[in-house]
Chain A
Amino acid sequence: MAQLIWNGLFVGSFYALVALGYSMVYGIMKLLNFAHGDIYMLGAFTGFAILGAVGGVSPGMALPVLLGVLVVTMGVTGLSGVVLERVAYRPLRSAPRLSLLITAVGASFALEYGMRAAAGADPRVYPLRLGGTTVELLGARITLQQVALIIVAIALMAGLNVLVTRTREGRAMRAIALDPRTAALMGINVNAVISRTFFLGSALAGAAGVMAGAYYGKVDFLMGFLIGLKAFTSAVIGGIGNITGTMLGGLLLGLLESFGTYWLGGEWRDVFAFGVLILFLTVRPTGLLGERVTERV
């Protein structure tokens, strides 16, 4: 039982990290950025490339090295997100919503098969594994590295939350989400704020990509597809556009999957996850916090 909860929270924190970018972009420009999962994949490969360049890492140094790689990767994926917005989405800002959506799907394919062309179709083995000591906690077996990754994930999410709710930049994001025209009248450079939103969301996805690579041990060019859908599901469960809701949605989806796998068997995991998505879309399309807290970003 404790093991199921722990596994669920662990996977759920990955989902939440990726889902945040989905949710922020949806909040601020009402776009479902289907290429977001592929930014996560790009993050995993960026981390792979950096680790390859660094060379062998002794197990004791694995965690500090990983944190360094994390920071560099976040910068790289963040900038990729900015470029993606500038090239693919900004020219269509005033186009019908469907055109944007189709562009997002196209951008997703471009990233996936661009990576396939660059790195090949075969899965790559991550040059750094987080194994290590396990500790027993309330009957669950937990590795210290898992704990470290969760702490990093929580720190990133908490930082984002403070940024959105307490800073000048966050206020500008929320203002644009509500009314971009009036935000411009208040002297806010709407394009610049949207760029920075893409940077943040993509940086978080990149971080999740590196963590996933180090945890699962292999990366491939399609790895972003499924997690993109799962992140979307998390965002819908929590209330898309709502930061706190999205974090909760990610954790909840992780837990649901963990228990669903236990009850129904591993082959039913994704069926279970997307069943939950359909359930929410029918019964409560605004998500858990979509109505109570109406604040959007």
Chain B
Amino acid sequence: MEDVASLSFLAATIAASWRLAAPLIFASIGEVFSERAGVLNIGLEGVMLAGAFAGFAAAFTSGSILLGVAAAITAGVLVGLLFAFFTITIKADQIVVGAAINLLGLGLTAFLFRAYFSSAGKGIEIAKPVDLPWLSDLPFFGEAFFRQNAFVYSTLPVAALAVFVLYRTSFGLTLRAVGEHPKAVDVSGRSVALYRYGAVLICSALAALGGAFLTLAHSNQFVEGISSGRGFIALAVVVFARWSPIGAFIVSLLFGVFYALQLQLQAQPVLFLPYQLFQALPYVMTIAALILVRNRVDTPSMLGVAYKKS
């Protein structure tokens, strides 16, 4: 039991929390953009899978993680375009299209993986932790915060950039207005559809990046359904975070703690509980969060509603 309470256990848990939160951070900040513009993209899970697979495939073939990232983002944008075309241009129901994207992501990545990579057998070399001079050597903090890989570090600038774009640029102001009162944006002379496309593409690119983390920086292999519900958890994170990018970052970290605890507790032989119980932790917390958090005030009023002129 001493081990569970020790400082190094704590530092390791914090480090793992941030690391495991990274895919959620990317996906949920992306979803904040989309939902603020009034588009409920429940296809996050499918987009993450597309990113995870494309990232793995490119990195495996080329040996370059950077190319993997580029491929993941491209795949995300393509799937995002598909989603945007159906929901924004054709005005199909967002939930239905989102569900289709999830099925497509799961099916297509599994198919392509089996067709081209299953016999490969070996994985790729994943992104290594980058030690920061001096900081990484700090006692406790060094291990907790400064021995991460580039993906994990990049969650910070991504969150900062998201805040800047949403609250400090004309684009962000208009985007927030699009989710509340699209007609006002229309009569002010901006295209509602264009902004929604922009929001969905940002969302998909970020979600795909979150997916790519799983194959390029976490596990060295692609596995069917590797995102294991993270896309759906990210949707819950956005609600819990009240549609704020900073909130999404913090709530994702909280979920990261559950993921980390789950792993760390599984590794503790002193706790004689079935490991499945710990594995369920993030999902149980998602359900609890969705039940407990009820607010209609912060929900973008036109969330999920297609915009039709007059």
Q: Do A and B come from one complex?
A: no
Chain B residues engaging chain A, CB cutoff 8 angstroms: none
